Amino acid sequence: MRLKSWVIIAIAAVFASVLTGCSVPDYDPVTIVYENYDDSTTVTWAVEGTEVTRTQQTDDDDPTETSYELPDRAAFVTSVHEELHPPKWDGCEDANEMTIEAQDPDGTLHVSKLADCGVQLKYVDDMFWALGDGR
Indicate the domain borders of the chain: 25-132
Per DSSP, the residues of 67-80 read EEE--TTSPEEEEE
Cα separations (Å) of 46 from 16, 32, 117, 123? 30, 7, 23, 18
DSSP secondary structure code for residue 50 in this structure: T
What is the reported pTM?
A: 0.39
At residue 108, the pLDDT reads 65
Mean pLDDT by 10 residues, the chain (135 residues): 46 45 44 50 67 74 74 56 57 62 65 53 40 35
At residue 53, the pLDDT reads 74
SS3 at position 101? strand
β-strand partners of 77: 102
SS3 at position 95? coil
At residue 132, the pLDDT reads 38
